[in-house]
Structure 1
């Protein structure tokens, strides 16, 4: 038994079936055996070592795998999805383009297995080498990590090739898939096609009143007619460029055949699962933290932390819907930060409403996570609503002139992948390998974003303001606050070697008219008399990621 195991780190498999237009938004599912073998051949040409693996060895591997079509193990909860983009065509004329893909669950695998194929050690080593070099399968954005296996005990085939009669009564969806001919079948077909082409050209000459061509002249005419699309070896036939085949007029590669597979349905919606809302038990606290991975290219800069925090709040509130009478979001006060009169919750010194905290977890200068911290905990309804949050977006109608100038070429949408709900300790990792810089129990906490005073700075400056806020928030008592050592830092240091000063950060709320006594800000290192647990955000804009403290990466 021989198997290729395919994992897709981005959770997407992009591939258009042969003969279909990309705008038909179809997905080649399962991955065609024709595509798999061509990917191995391409990897040998691009990354292979011809001294170690001669061309004849590659030909033997390909011919062994082309003998019979493989069976597949496909993730049964894969989803047929797509995105839509307007692409400029001929100047300003936009055209709607569909980008279809199979969305795969995290850590899922596609397995293509040849149960009756046993490779010798030389071919197995070559297969391992080619699998390790495989970078994508399908289109270039369909990143793949491939491995080889000879153990069938860890998976079960759920997609099999069948005959037409078997497909009628099979449990699943029949689909036609392109597979290579075996070497013997291809040699027979090539002989037949060459003979048919010679006969057709000879008849055409005779009908035109021309003398029958000599064998040498006929061979030259055949070569001109087919333009090298019927090479002698199966390996060369698999190596042909698709464009060259289409120019000659082949409706299907001559070294291929169609095989009917029965597969698990590839649904346009995720399979329904029984959803059990997190139970709230007496004595067990509700989760206070929910964290997402933020993806997209380019990701937002850490300097735009407050902007992303505000976008996250609006996106989260939108999941609760709007009141038809007032037009306001129906999010509860602990989520919205607004009371019944729609006024901001300024009178609560403990700041018990939600903190929207973007994070650059790996300190590379780009925001890669967003955490929402609600000290009072998320109830079942809030968890259900926030679980459906999938993306952040910038509404072009609401962009400022500065936005339009500085982010004209930036992406306006980012995707969110839910990590889960829990308590702060669930996201700590270890002291050696912290999962997040916001969580943990430490004595020393360092600014990740500028700290801005929440009121006018008085005698004692930022040091006195920090102590005042620690007491007001109920984090420390008066005596403990006085024992906190506060040290100003001129800049924070990214792992790239770049230094950021407070002036580099956006330090203002998007809404106008909000009182902001401090517009400059500073970076601080706080050393407490005893260990304190995060997250910790203090000062102006702390609910949106300013004044955020964490551990050094």
Structure 2
């Protein structure tokens, strides 16, 4: 017993049965033994150094019609045009005909196994066929990439036993009875009466090969006037009626849903929005995300909206922070980072991946969104490159800090005073512009000029409360920043948009900027105060102060 296996890497076997036209769309299945013998000879001639006599003896040993073990398969085809009138060299490209390239689609991991039940090869022939099989790169038409292997006789029973959902196709003997689930298909095989003396290298007077297995199709049609080669025969093979029926395979996927809490976009526009419109861009991004997730059914999402099903504002801070950023420091917003401490499930990930464009009120130019990635905040190799999410000991305001409560005063209009924390240094900036004096600046930020106390719920007091509320360590120093810098020009925080359209205004619309220094590195994002989920109160690492 001898067996060969053919595994098709592309999952396709391209071949047309002998006597049929390619445009009939009929695939050859099982592969014809005649084609196997021709493939052996062709591989020997091109790639294997062996004696012609040894190859001829091998071929003569394999003339018996084999049994095929066929994997589950379906039929497919492609259509393309090819030049028809090749005799007219000048105009051949103008004449075209439609070609149907039909193929049998098989699983890439499931080989076709061919078994010659009554064949036993000697050691010399077995060594030769193994060498030829190793060098056979395709079988059928050239698109049918394959790997051929000799199955050792001792391993063959176990290999056949492990085959799942395979069909057996074998020659129909006179005494065999065809079952109701089978059909007959004619397969071209070699006649066992082939003259063993005809050399595989022997040519006739016209330079054509004399051996029947090597006669070209064009010679058959033009000179021999026959569809079938000499010394060939059609053998009736049994084949399952549903051998080309698609098999229904169900897979149970057991996997754990993976959440991410960072979604990153690049902003693209003819004119990118200025940093002063951070609140506006973040608010539009929020509305776009909610609309994309809700769809036509208007599904509610607390993760993106920051509200529960009854419309109450969430106080847990586990919902999304919309963080615009200017990462090339040209005064224009160029990135948008969405960060949700509670994470985004797969439904939210799919919705956010569909966000392609920001749309909403008073956008002067279209702002397109290019998705850069989704990952966890713990993926330091990715997040450390994102400015709002990086790590630093010193952070400065990128957008103004807005108070969440009214500063406390007495009935007489005097400040209610509290002491400054002992472990926090209140620094006075060198440059107090646009304020007239440093004393004026410190009073504006709710700190007594001699730094002996500060206003209850004043800017510095509320900043310390906000830092403690989000779980950040107490800063070692706080320094007011009266203005921000863009391209070497100092601008006031008042130039930033601080009010959301149609939403409740903050208790105090006065903007403030700060520089925070911590005793240890703090990992972003750092977003504090009123509107911190919508682009206000964003802090970025202060690289110049490191």
| Superposition TM-score, scaled by structure 2 size | 0.45
Larger radius of gyration: 2
Q: Which has the higher strand share?
A: 2
Structure with more helix by fraction: 1
